[in-house]
Amino acid sequence: MSRASVDYVKAVELECDIQPTETVETKIYRRRWFMLAIFVIYSASNAMQWIQYSIITDIVMKYYKVDAFLVDMTSMIYMITYIPFIFPASYILDKYGLRYAALAGGLGTALGSWVKVFSVEQDQFLIAFIGHTIVASSQCFILSVPARLAAVWFGPDQVSSACSIGVFGNQLGIAIGFLFPPMLVKDSPDPSIVKDGLKIMNYMNASITTPPLSPSPVQAVQNELEKSDFFQSLKRLGLNFGYVMLLLSYGINVGIFYAISTVLSRIVTSHFPGAQEDAGRMGLAIVCAGMLGSVMCGVILDKTRRFKFFMTGYLPVGFEFAAELTYPEPEGTSAGLLNALVQVFGIIFIIVYGYLIDVTTDFWASLALCGILAVGAVITAIIPNNLRRQNAK
């Protein structure tokens, strides 16, 4: 263990009034892969609903007779609800464990999906939005889980791979959300055809939303730490320079992905009217490339531990890097705050991107996002590579 890591862990132990953890016997269970597979499916069932209205913006606007901003709000509501709900969700994850957090997320996703089943009439956009909001509120119990699930169930040589596979579930859901809505909901002057497409889409959501769900060395210190005050943990995270820099760079990079995904249909159909399915395929290509990169980065990361080099696979690597920089704080808390700031950046970038497209062109709006991404790259470069969790093993 490095000197900095030793000093940090000792400081946390003194502050939390815990005794240094003795060497304990641990076991890696075979069922860890089953747990991970369940989470991937359950995460995908929530994530696939995020973009399903925004990717068919023109159709939703005409059918429900609403403006583009309200359709964009179906995407932004995922970000808006995450910010207040992540704190109780992180508390539940850290206090009561993975099972209760997973059940809360799964039940909320199922409830919201069934509410949307009753929103297929043209005057029922409000019902659709309420159901969508319930699903969105449930994601705060999901997005923080991969890093915690990996640390609890997997050994040190598999933790990054497991985290990347866990994040893969979210990306798989987004890919489904890009692909199927344009195929199911056709742009037709006949409202009954649009209604039938919405019925199929909503029943598909409802039918696959199901919920279930310490065996690693990392848990030894954390099991003691979790007895300490949740808000003291938040305070320590706020004073961690490397983690704060990661918050900013991660927020910029993933927030811009959210903005592009939300506005993609508007950009494509403005140049190619009626090309909703093509917009969906473009979104699918973006996400599939990210899925491949994420899993590859996770596997290679287990071998190299070169976090900053692989930050191009930002979603899983960001979670793992946060866990390394903030150890022995609970992974659910560090990942939760990471995602909370992403939602703030996402909301800002969606509004600004949409505004710039309206007042200039999509070329200049996209160029502005490229400039912001460059700032994110600079911030990433100055993050200290202090791998406390690895050094503690």
pLDDT in tens, the chain (393 residues): 444 444 444 444 444 444 444 555 556 667 788 888 888 888 888 989 988 998 898 899 999 999 988 998 998 999 899 888 888 887 887 778 778 888 888 889 999 999 999 998 999 999 999 999 999 999 888 877 877 787 777 776 777 777 777 777 888 888 888 888 888 888 888 889 999 999 999 888 888 765 444 444 444 444 444 444 666 777 788 788 888 888 898 889 888 988 988 888 888 888 888 888 888 888 888 777 776 666 666 566 556 555 444 444 566 667 777 777 877 777 667 777 888 888 889 899 999 998 898 898 889 999 999 999 999 889 888 887 776 666 655
Q: Calculate the alpha carbon distances from 371 to 38, 217, 252, 377 in Å.
A: 39, 42, 11, 10
> What distance in Å separates the CA atoms of residue 338 and residue 357, rounded to the nearest whole number?
28
pLDDT in tens, 279-312: 888 888 877 777 666 666 656 655 655 544 444 4
Q: Residues 6 or more apart from 55 whose CB is under 8 A from it? A: 177, 178, 181, 182, 264, 265, 276, 279, 280, 283
- The CATH code of domain 3-12+31-391 reads 1.20.1250.20
pLDDT at position 60 is: 92
Q: Where are the domains of the chain?
A: 3-12+31-391
Check whether the bond before 328 is cis (ω within 30° of 0): yes
Two tokens, residue 59: 């159709």
Number of Cβ within a 10 Å radius of residue 104: 21
pLDDT in tens, 243-277: 888 889 888 988 898 898 888 888 888 888 888 88
pLDDT at position 134 is: 95
